[in-house]
Structure formats: structure tokens, C-alpha cells
Structure 1
Amino acid sequence: MSDHQTPHQPGGPAHQPGQDPYQHATTQWSGGGSGGGVGAQEPPAPRRRRTGLAAMVVATSLLVGGGAGIGGAALWDATQDDPAATASTRTPSTSTVSQTQEPAADGSVESVAQKVLPSVVKIDVTGSQGSASGSGIVLTADGTILTNNHVVETVEAGGSLRVSFDDGTSADAEILGTDPLTDTAVIKAEGVSDLTPATIGKSANLGVGEAVVAIGSPFGLDATVTSGIVSALDRPVNVGSDDQGNSTTYPAIQTDAAINPGNSGGPLVDMTGAVIGINSSIRTAASQSPYGSGEAGSIGLGFAIPIDEVMPIVDQMAKGETPTHARLGIQVGDPQTPDETGAVVREVTPGSTADKAGLAPGDVISKVDDQRISDANSLVATIRSYRPGDTVSVTWTSDGEEQTAQLVLDSDATNG
């Protein structure tokens, strides 16, 4: 889907502090443009939403949950016993009480953790830019693992991956496929068997306020469990772009479960333990952590990629195929005045589904199916949630007149 927004410099660092509030849970990322599908000059387009798409893309320093970097595990000094303390000052004044541990109640965070932890891995990355760590989700017993593209992308230029499992063992891994547009990747651990695959759930069934659990390796601290709720659905989040200017924008699950650098690629699960999202980015108030890690931490605004949207792409990567994406065949931008909403068409690709429907530069797209389009990012995120060949109802305004048409979405496999 060659749908772009303002192009983002490929391979460059995230926006400077104070410019882009969304960062990967590994490195700092910023919003970028998308390529010739829904919009190429301005923000990219999303897909159908189950609830209202947020009026704006999350736009401040966004931390991609990929890796925690060397030394990202934090300072422990303040928690250690004072070496000068005497034995008398440490003598307990209370007696020990024996307590029997009760089985975890079904539907509790404890029971979810017990079920999911064996299916979550820590991924250590060594590349040209140094070392970092992220998280991953076990898909098959023989070592197929789902993670974020930004967790492993530096390895493609030369480097290595090492995966650590819940039982304390580890193995080298290779990349099977990557997809910058959805920020997903599939890797394969070598020489392993009898792993515990995660249960894949349905993100379409989520509701705002529903309890969720996030699991991963924040700041390199493996097997970390945090809990919270679904704060919002279909939040358009833009965290960068590929080397062709296509933006990485997706209709995110927003959660207040603590997500930090290193959580990227790990699962967001419902209270049955089923994976409903891939923890990918966080919004931060500042780009520097007061605890010396050099990366900002969670302020209760974390974002996960909905599992429904990416599983077809994950299946393609696992098979060694090139991922495909739906597209309208336009480049879009934001309205010029604050009181306007919608995605403004900048360019239309000749012969595309948008061209055949009569869309032209200057038209303003306001709705896709039942999803309201507030800006370019929300359109890109909405279209990204569909697959090539899906039929969608698109509503737009042309010369003051509203029009609606049924469009069969193109594929970027054929429409460069």
C-alpha cells in the first residue's frame, strides 16, 4: 500500500527529545512517512477500526520496545544492604510464620504469568551499533519466534542473535523475515525442540477497560510481568518509515500496563493468556531517564500491534515469502487548518483502485467503512489493518460534494 505521509529519513535516529513522543521499547523512534499507497507525502493510512480511531497519531517521543542497550538494566546500589551495618542492627525482631502457597486463581495475573512465561523469550542482539536486548513470542515448538522488526533490524547489516528461554537455556537464531511497515519480524532459534508455543488470541474481541498483561525483558530484565487495562483501541501510532519512505503506522492497542525499553516484541495477553498484541512502543514525557539508562521509561502509555492485523504477514515471513500490504494507491497529507479533519489526497497512482474510483488530488477522505478518518496517519493505520483484495467503503469530499464508493484494495506486491 504505497500510502505515505511526510517521508522519514531511513536509518536515521529518532527525533530529537521533545519532538516525537513515541519511541520503540528499544531505541528512539519518530513518526515517518509512508510510501505510494494511501499516502506518500504525508502520514500513512490505517485500516478498519473496531472502535473510534483516535483523532491524532500519538506524537511525542515514542520509545520502541526493542532493546535495552548495554547497561540498560538499571542501578541496584540503593537496594543493597549497607556494608557497614552491624549484625545487631540486622537482627529481626519478629518471628517467621510458615505459609502455604495457594494455587493461582483462574483469570488472575499470577495464573496468566504461569501460562505465558514459558512462551516468552529474551533476544540479545549484537550488531554494528552495539548490543541491545528485546523480547519475542514462541510460535512453534521447533523455535519459530515473533518479535519486532526494530529489535533485529541491525543484525541484517551484520551481527548475531541469541535467544534465551524460560528454562534457562539459550540458542543462536537467524532471521526468517522482516516487515518494516508493520514493525514485525520472524526469527528461528537453532537446534531447539519441545518449546511451548503461545496461544494466539483475537484482538478484534478486545474492549476498552479490559484487563491485560504484558510480558518481556524491560532493560534486559527477563521474565518481567506487568498488568493493566486496554486504555484505547485503534490508536494510530507512527514510529518511522522504511527506506522507501513508507511509514510504519499501525492501529495500536493502547495500554497502561508498564512497557519499557526491552519489552518490544513481547506479548500483550488477555486474562486467558492468549496473545492479543505485540508490545512495540511507548510514549514518554522525556527522552532521558533519571536512572542513568539513557532512555525514558513508562508513563502508562504503551502501544501494542494488534495480533489480528499482522498474523497473515507473520505467516508469510515464516514461509520465507515477501510480506504484502493493502493499499489505495494514493499519497495523503493532513488538512491545513486545525478545524479541518480527514486525509487530504496529494497524489493518485495511475491505474490504482483510488484512480479507478475517481479520487483526485485535493479530495478529503473522511471515512473507511465505519471508521472515521481524522488525519493522514489514521487513514494509513486503517488501510494497514486490511489485506490486499479486501473491499472497503470509502467516503470522501470533492469540490464540496460528498461521495462514497466500494473499492477493492490493491497490493504492494503488484503496485510497486
Structure 2
Amino acid sequence: MHGEHANPQDVEQVQASQGWNQPRAGEAPPAPAHSARLSTGAVAGLLVGALLAGTAGGYVGSQLGAGRADTSTVNEVLRQPISQESAPVVDGSIETVAAKVLPAVVAIQVASERAVASGSGSVISPDGYVLTNHHVVAGARGGQIQVTMNDGSKHPADLVASDANTDVGVIKIRDVENLPYLDFADSSALRVGQGVVAVGSPLGLNATVTSGIVSALNRPVRASQGGGESSLIDAIQTDAAVNPGNSGGPLVDMEGNLVGMNSMIASLSATGGQESGSIGLGFAIPSTFAKRMADQLINTGQVKHPMLGVQVSPREMVDGALIRAVEPGSPADAAGLREGDIITRVDERQIDSADSLIAATRSQEFGATVTLEVVREDNSQPRQVEVTLTSE
């Protein structure tokens, strides 16, 4: 399917982990897994509110204390010796997840002629292949890559391949073996509300661990990659705190298995072009999709996607994806789809935009047969159409 024909200025825009994500018109702005923007006025308001609350609380406490002389009970508690025992480590806790995952997460620095970029990555094989974002390593051609392991050791690395459209990249650490690495989990089995942990190097702070939940699934999120390129991912949304530098790092389940790659965050408006931190809206590339992209990048140097064979318009105000052209001989052509058809559902998934259709199609397996719900622009009754996507 030709998602590349969509104009990113006309759809939801989300910057990559090194930039800012902007929402589509009329919606709150999403930003990349880098950071989110908060206006100076809003920050000042939060600080003032906290100070006022503290002052009022202190005054009330003083009045209560003045009218009560007996402090024997509270003093008895305060004078108890502090326990020297640590809480037991519980299997499935964030602590055990962190202990398992941290050795397989690296900080990445890319030095080019123009700048030094930083991000994170997941070791996915004992011989040093690392999964990360395209926008983290985009400047590596002609530049240098260095990774920092959890033990502080630094190693040179080489770019294997990357893809701007999906924001997936792979690098390989030189001359290493028997590295700890992360196992892929089936991201299609994720549930909203499920606990997850994000690991990476936000703002250059290596080996940072944050936790949260899966806030939503199947979020089509577009990000500017610079140079007129953009990426579109069918994202996992999470409230685990991710900030600039988390890009490319893992989102793992409570077993420590890779379920996503942190790539973008939502942003609020900002003044002075300054970046601020997480607002609890992070987006990760699902692990099943990232694994397929990594396989292709490592073995062929490029990626391909299952295709429907239509061109869709991002400009139209319709409830679905409006087909503007059907490629002759494509799966869509064979299924009888026509210009002017509006696709409103792929299997059980609702389609409300061109990007939504592109993301839903890319997430399918090669050769998969899907059922589309289709209506015409004249508001005809919906019909069901079976389409077998292109094979690899």
C-alpha cells in the first residue's frame, strides 16, 4: 500500500525521539519519545501551587500542635530503630525486570560532521546486533558510532541498515561475543492496562528505568524524520516516562521481554523552542513489527511491507480512508475496490484516517487475508471485501 503518498503536513505529525511530535489538526499534540513541551507559564503555576499548599499545611499543623501537649505516642514511634533489612525481591517486580534487562541495553552516540546525536538500543543477539531507531543512527553514514554498555565499557559499532519510513535501525557492536540480549515477546498479545517498563538513556542519563502501563494500542503516529522524510508507526501508547535519549530503547513486559521500542512522545506547546520532559504520552514500535523490520534490514539491507495497492488521500474529511487510486493488478484491484471507496475497518479494527489504514496494513503479515469494511462516498450501505495482501 502506498502510504508514502500521504502528506505529513495534512495528518497527525509526531516528531521522532530526537524531535517533537505534533498532533493532527484539532487534537492534542503528540511528540516523539524524546520529550514533551510545557509552557513556562504552566510550570510557574505548578510551582506556585505547590508552595502555597506547603505554606498552608505548615500553618495548620502549628495550630494543632499548640493545643496538644502529649507527644509521647508519636515520639515512641519516632524513636524506634530503623530496620536494617531490605525488602525481599519479588519475582515479576520492577526490580527483577530491571536487573534482567539493564545488561542488554546500551547508550548510543553518533558523531557526524554536523552534530553528535544520542539515543538508546536493545542488544538482540549475543554477537552484538542492536535494535534502535532510524533517527538515532541516521547521521552514522560517514560518521562514527559508539555504544556504552551497562557496565560502563565503551565499544565502536557499525551501521547495518535503517529505514526512515518505519524508524527502525540496526547497528552491530564490533568484536564482542556472549553478550546478554533481550528476547522478543508477541506484542499482539498486549492488553491495555498491562504493566510495562521502559529502559534507556534519557538526557544522557544511562541505565534509567521507568514504569507504567500500556495506555492504548494501535495508535497510528507519524513523525518527521527531517529532509522531507517521515515515519509512520502503529504504536503502543504508554504512560511510562520516556524523554529525549530514550529513543531506540526497549519497552518490556513484567517478564523482561521486549514488547516495543520507545520512539516518540507527545508534546505540549512550548516557548522559546525549549524542550521539556514526559507528559505521560509515549509511543513505542511494537516488537513483532520491529523484529520483522530488523530481520529484513540485517539480511537484505532494506524493508518491504505487505501492500493493498491503493493510494489514499489524507486531505479528505471522511470517516475512514478514502481511496483516490487503485493500482492495476494489485490485491485491491483483484478484490474489486475502486476510486471513491472509503475503507472504514480492517478485520475488527476501525479505520478513521489514511494513516490508520497504512499502519494497519503494514502491521499485517505478508500474504495475509483481511476483511475490509467499505462504503462509497455517496453513503451507500457498507459491504465486506476480502483482500489477500501481497506476499514477500
Category of TM-score, reference length = shorter chain:
0.7 to 0.9
Matched, 1:349 2:334: no
Q: Whole-Å Cα distance in 1 between the matches of residues 113 and 291 of structure 2?
A: 30
Deviation at 1:4, TM superposition (A): 3.8
Amino acid at match of 2:203: F
Name the SS for the 1:198 alignment partner: coil
Separation (CA, whole Å) in 2 of partners of 1:381 and 1:282? 18
Please report the RMSD computed on the Cα atoms of aligned residues, expressed in angstroms.
2.9
Q: Displacement of 1:405 after TM fit?
A: 2.0
Q: Per the alignment, in what secondary structure is the counterpart of residue 364 of structure 1? A: strand
Aligned pair partner of 2:351 in 366, 373, 382: 373
- Greater gyration radius: 2
Which of these residues, 296, 305, 312, is aligned with residue 292 of structure 2? 312
Structure 1 segments of 4+ aligned residues over 6 angstroms from their partners:
56-59, 241-245
- Given that residues 24 and 261 in structure 1 are in contact (C-alpha distance below 8 angstroms), is that contact kept between their aligned partners in structure 2? no
Structure 2 letter corresponding to 1:357 = A
Tell me which residue corresponds to 1:409.
Answer: 389
**Are positions 1:25 and 2:17 aligned together?**
yes
1:206-225 alignment to 2 at 5 Å?
A: 206-225=190-209
Mean Cα displacement is larger for which, 318-327 or 225-234?
Answer: 318-327
d(CA) in 1 for partners of 2:91, 2:27? 35
Residue identity (%): 43
Matched AA of 2:328? P
- C-alpha contact (below 8 Å) 1:122/1:164 kept by paired residues: yes
Which of residues 259, 269, 276 in structure 2 aligns to 1:296?
276
Q: Give the count of matched residue pairs.
A: 348
- Higher RCO structure (Cα 8 Å, ≥6 apart): 1
Shift of 1:280: 0.4
Q: Residues 138 and 302 from structure 1, CA distance in 2 versus in 1: closer, same or farther, beyond 3 angstroms?
A: same
Contact 2:145 2:157 in 1 (8 A): yes
Residues 345/198 of structure 1: CA separation in 2 closer, same or farther (3 Å cut): same
Instruction: Describe how 1:157-168 pairs up with structure 2 within 5 A.
Output: 158-168=142-152
Does 1:190 pair with 2:156? no
Amino acid at match of 1:374: D
Amino acid at match of 1:230: V
Seen in structure 2, the aligned counterparts of structure 1 residues 352 and 287 have a Cα distance that, compared at 3 Å, is farther
1:300 Cα deviation (Å)?
0.4
1:58 offset after TM fit, Å? 7.4
- String of CA shifts for 1:242-273, please: whole Å, max 9, x gaps: 9796x522221111100101001000011111
Structure 1 residue identity aligned to 2:17: A
- 1:392 Cα offset (Å): 1.1
Superimposed CA distance per residue, residues 192-245 of structure 1 (whole angstroms, 9 cap, x where no aligned partner): 122101121111121111111100000111100001111111111111379796
Distance 1:121 1:96 in 2: 41
Q: TM-score, normalised by structure 1?
A: 0.76
- 1:21–1:59: 8 Å Cα contact kept in structure 2? no
CA contact (8 A) 1:217 1:224 kept: yes
Structure 1 residues 204, 20: CA separation in 2 closer, same or farther (over 3 Å shift)? closer
Does the 8 Å contact 1:28/1:62 carry over to 2? yes
Q: Is there any run of 5+ residues in structure 2 with no aligned partner, and where?
A: 36-78
Q: Do 1:229 and 1:257's aligned partners in 2 also have CA atoms closer than 8 Å?
A: yes
Letter of the aligned partner of 1:115 in structure 2?
Answer: K
Cα offset, 1:318, TM superposition: 2.1
**Structure 2 residue 260 is matched with structure 1 residue 268:** no
Counterpart of 2:105 in structure 1 is 120
- Provide the residue aligned with 2:260 in structure 1: 277
* Corresponding position of 1:153: 138
Judged with a 3 Å threshold, the aligned counterparts in structure 2 of structure 1 residues 23 and 296 are, in CA distance, closer, same or farther, namely farther
* Aligned equivalent of 2:115, options 112, 116, 130: 130
Asked whether the equivalents of residues 128 and 179 of structure 2 are also in contact (C-alpha less than 8 Å), the reply is yes
Unaligned runs of 5+ in 1: 10-14, 32-42, 44-55, 67-93
> How far 1:394 moved relative to its partner?
1.5
Distance 1:114 1:280 in 2: 23
- The answer on whether the counterparts of 1:181 and 1:242 sit within 8 Å (CA) in structure 2 is no
- 1:182 Cα deviation (Å)? 1.6
